[in-house]
């Protein structure tokens, strides 16, 4: 069965203009100005894009896929990710992570959930470890996890500069980072350490000190929540200018923005003005992490969870409100995480790449259709693929 997208305005993520795209067996077979369905040897499903934007499926590389939260007691542990929340949001690839709780939640469950998401049509990988150091791993050894467990691509999220971190020493962090690095080298994986940055003004100090030791490259670390406060953002800007990678969190609430959280659009604009290439920038939803809800009187009204939908919402806002060109705004959710995390076949629309794509409306960039692994998961707003237990 072939899937043929006709008359698309293709962003690979760089703008390529009007193109047709042909997929089969989960891969992109051809991209050309005109592909004739009648010439294909077999059944063809045709999707006429009608001039809509065709972009790579989004990569959400920091999601608590097996649930997170729990910081207000056992009843505040958040539920698992549902694949339909990803497909509706244009997300076709996720990287799962544990979180604060590395005791009641463990790697067996995270790896099992990662496999389950794959069975449901999503591309999925995960990090090993949690906030804590020494890390809670699957095999008892972070390097062994990376080398011997295919879906594990790095270590994280490890908390630093936060009252919830295990207050690891620099030596402990250096050892963990080197295990990730060598495990990555030996297995051909990224071996990235995904650091959760807390509110502490000196959030980047442990990372800077690790780099200063001279033995670990800056590119080994992917700090997340870099937009959580003006002070953390300014430090992130300095880190990025020096060649460091940065990740911005898209799921938020109005109160966090009112209290000083830097919007993803503003963060991207500042980076661009500073000449930081978006190849070093990723955006992630922190999906299924818990978020407080407040009523109109500003009173605490319960808990919600972060959503993968926030990823594209934040990036399209960066185009609409901050004037970031679409081809640039796509990078932190497509080609950049694919390259940084070595997710082969992901993040680009190119010959031989995985057939993961989104169709966006011209003008407001809303998501219209989504394909994951060459199968339509969302067709003109109608959900076609969902999880086993989803109604």
Catalytically active residues are 286
Cβ closest to Zn ion, residue 187 vs residue 249: 249
The residue range among 178-186, 188-196, 349-357, 375-383 that interacts with Zn ion, by the rule CB under 5 A, is 188-196
Give me the least distance between CB of 209 and Zn ion, in Å please: 20
Cβ closest to Zn ion, residue 203 vs residue 210: 203
Give me the least distance between CB of 225 and Zn ion, in Å please: 6
Residues 307-326 contacting Zn ion, CB under 5 A: none
Cβ closest to Zn ion, residue 196 vs residue 331: 196
88 counts as binding Zn ion under rule CB under 5 A:
no
The residue range among 5-13, 146-154, 196-204, 344-352 that interacts with Zn ion, by the rule CB under 5 A, is 196-204
Cβ closest to Zn ion, residue 251 vs residue 368: 251
Give me the least distance between CB of 342 and Zn ion, in Å please: 22
Cβ closest to Zn ion, residue 228 vs residue 348: 228
Give me the least distance between CB of 224 and Zn ion, in Å please: 6
The residue range among 21-29, 107-115, 192-200, 355-363 that interacts with Zn ion, by the rule CB under 5 A, is 192-200
C-alpha distances in Å from residue 176, one per residue of 95, 101, 106, 211, 213: 19, 19, 18, 14, 14
Give me the least distance between CB of 71 and Zn ion, in Å please: 11
Binding mask 138-177 for Zn ion (x = CB under 5 A): ----------------------------------------
* Cα 225 to Cα 240: distance, rounded to the nearest angstrom: 14
| Site residue total, Zn ion (CB under 5 A) | 1
Residue nearest to Zn ion (CB): 196
- The two most distant CA atoms of the chain are separated, in Å, by 64
Binding mask 199-238 for Zn ion (x = CB under 5 A): ----------------------------------------
The residue range among 182-190, 193-201, 228-236, 378-386 that interacts with Zn ion, by the rule CB under 5 A, is 193-201
Residue that has been written with the tokens 């020493």 in this structure = 169
Residue that has been written with the tokens 């390097």 in this structure = 143
CA 126 to chain centre: 11
196: phi then psi, degrees, rounded to nearest 5: -80, 120
SS (H, E, C) 276-300: CCHHHEEEECCECCEEEEECCCCCE
Alpha-helical runs (H) found in 162-321: 170-187, 205-212, 230-241, 254-258, 264-273, 309-320
Q: Which two tokens stand for residue 384?
A: 């076609």
Compute the chain's Rg from CA coordinates.
20
Cβ closest to Zn ion, residue 286 vs residue 313: 286
Give me the least distance between CB of 337 and Zn ion, in Å please: 16
105 counts as binding Zn ion under rule CB under 5 A:
no
Q: What residues have CB less than 8 Å from 106, skipping those under 6 apart? A: 98, 136
Cβ closest to Zn ion, residue 155 vs residue 319: 155
257: phi then psi, degrees, rounded to nearest 5: -65, -45
Binding mask 48-67 for Zn ion (x = CB under 5 A): --------------------
Contact 346, 356 (CB under 8 A): yes
* Cα 242 to Cα 267: distance, rounded to the nearest angstrom: 17
Q: Name the 3-class secondary structure at 174.
A: helix
The residue range among 13-21, 43-51, 189-197, 276-284 that interacts with Zn ion, by the rule CB under 5 A, is 189-197
Q: How many CB atoms neighbour CB 98 within 10 A?
A: 28
Residue 107: HSE in the Cβ half-sphere, 13 Å Cα cutoff:
25
Cβ closest to Zn ion, residue 68 vs residue 332: 68
- String of b and e for 363-384 (b: at least 16 CB within 10 Å)? eebebbbbbbbbbbbbbeeeee
196 counts as binding Zn ion under rule CB under 5 A:
yes
CA 29 to chain centre: 26
Contact footprint for Zn ion (CB under 5 A): 196
């Amino acid at each position: 069965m072939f899937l043929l997208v006709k008359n698309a305005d293709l962003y690979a993520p760089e703008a390529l203009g009007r193109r047709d795209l042909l997929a089969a067996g989960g891969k992109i077979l051809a991209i050309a100005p005109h592909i004739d369905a009648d010439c294909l040897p077999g059944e063809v499903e045709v999707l006429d894009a009608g001039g809509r934007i065709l972009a790579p499926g989004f990569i959400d590389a920091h999601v608590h896929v097996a649930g997170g939260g729990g910081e207000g007691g056992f009843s505040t542990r958040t539920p698992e990710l549902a694949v339909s929340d990803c497909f509706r949001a244009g997300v076709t690839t996720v990287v799962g992570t544990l979180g604060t709780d590395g005791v009641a939640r463990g790697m067996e469950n995270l790896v099992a959930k990662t496999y389950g998401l794959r069975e449901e049509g999503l591309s999925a990988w995960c990090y090993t470890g949690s906030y804590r150091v020494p890390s809670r791993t699957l095999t008892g050894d972070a390097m062994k996890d990376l080398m011997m467990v295919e879906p594990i691509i790095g270590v994280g999220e490890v908390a630093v500069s936060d009252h919830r971190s295990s207050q690891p020493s620099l030596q402990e962090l250096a050892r963990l980072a080197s295990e990730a690095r060598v495990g990555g080298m030996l297995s051909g994986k990224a071996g990235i350490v995904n650091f959760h940055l807390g509110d502490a003004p000196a959030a980047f100090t442990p990372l800077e000190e690790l780099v200063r030791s001279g033995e670990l490259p800056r590119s080994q670390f992917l700090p997340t929540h870099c937009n959580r406060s003006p002070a953390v953002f300014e430090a992130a800007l300095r880190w990025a200018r020096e060649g460091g990678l940065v990740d911005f969190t898209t799921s938020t609430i109005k109160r966090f923005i009112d209290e000083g959280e830097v919007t993803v659009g503003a963060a991207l604009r500042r980076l661009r003005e500073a000449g930081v290439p978006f190849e070093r920038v990723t955006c992630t939803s922190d999906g299924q992490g818990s978020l407080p809800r407040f009523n109109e009187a500003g009173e605490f009204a319960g808990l919600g969870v972060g959503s993968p939908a926030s990823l594209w919402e934040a990036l399209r806002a960066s185009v609409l409100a901050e004037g970031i060109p679409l081809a640039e705004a796509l990078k932190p959710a497509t080609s950049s995480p694919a390259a940084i995390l070595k997710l082969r076949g992901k993040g680009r629309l190119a010959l031989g790449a995985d057939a993961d794509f989104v169709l966006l409306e011209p003008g407001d960039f809303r998501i219209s259709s989504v394909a994951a692994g060459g199968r339509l998961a969302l067709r003109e707003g109608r959900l076609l693929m969902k999880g086993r237990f989803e109604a």
